[in-house]
Amino acid sequence: MKERPVLDVTVVLLDDGLSSTAIMPVEIFHSAGTLWNDLHDQAPQPAFRVRTVSLSGGAVRSPYGLSITPETSLDAIERTDIIIVPTSGLDLDLKLVENSALLPWLKRHYAQGAYVAGVCMGAAYLAEAGLLDGRIATTHWAVSDRLCARYPKVRWRQDLFVTEDSRLLCSGGVYASMDVSLYLVEKLCGHEVALKCAKALLLPMPRIHQSGYAVLPVSQPHDDSRIRQVEAFLQTNLSRDVSTQDLADHAGLGARTFVRHFKAATGRLPAAYLQALRIEAAKNMLERDAKPIQSISSEVGYDDVAFFRSLFKRITGMTPTDYRAHFAPLGVRGQPAFEAP
């Protein structure tokens, strides 16, 4: 069997970010091909060489007092196969100025053939460098609106954990650093190496959708009192089947005028708004109690539980059962909380 080449991974360390967005990729790439083998008394077959760098080569600080010293500086890296850019704090304007030297460095290595991955808000550095123009990308759901407005040429997909477009990868959220790292291990070394790495570290294989984790408002802020009345009506009658005409009558408007006003105020058409409202209500129920899925489906207005399951998965990226398993209290998930004997 042909021996697999060892790939070079460069993980950038930046001040004021969450250290896990850099450390998790270091540990995953370092473990691929080695940890599973070590645990099974087999000869290690490292798939990657991992280096950490900072802009100057000096230590970087985290917002919670942790200091990390890299191996070297950006300028010392002549070539690399993979670059990981972590998150670096929420003040994006300040951070883009502080870390401006990173931008031409990313462009140079991308032009040389490197895969470049931005973790969480690290995607902003790829966008600021112009690498993401016209390409699909993602970021954390809570900052996606800011990045969408700042970089309108990017095809943002805030519903996804991991995106890849022309060797440019992005991941949404802090622990999506795990997802994008395992994704690259699988892509470049195959499923078996990635699976063994995940099992050795007790990690799940890469997640794709982050929709189920988002806490997004059903409606955008607005001052239309007539539409607010309709929203309040829908919130207290979300299980009822109501027509657009019924809602228009409630607002005291003609049907076409109502639809136009409703979309302008909320950002959604009435049917889509009600659908989103029902899914949010279902998520809340799944998070707090152990009602059967059929009962929750009926309570939010869907007598056809198969349709409800399909709709829920399409919107959140998870089945109702999976959502409950992720977010409900231990007792509700069917797993009793640990108690010492």
Q: Which residues are catalytic?
A: 120
CA atoms of 225 and 55, how far apart (whole Å): 52
Of 124, 106, 109, 113, the C-alpha closest to 21 is 124
DSSP 247-281: HHHHHTS-HHHHHHHHHHHHSS-HHHHHHHHHHHH
How many other CB atoms are there within 10 angstroms of residue 119's CB atom?
35
Q: How far apart are the first and last CA of the chain?
A: 51
Diameter of the chain by CA atoms? 75
Determine the number of helices (DSSP H) and then strands (DSSP E) in the chain: 15, 11
Contact 47, 193 (CB under 8 A): yes
CA 180/CA 25 separation, integer angstroms: 8
CB 72, CB 50: distance < 8 Å: no
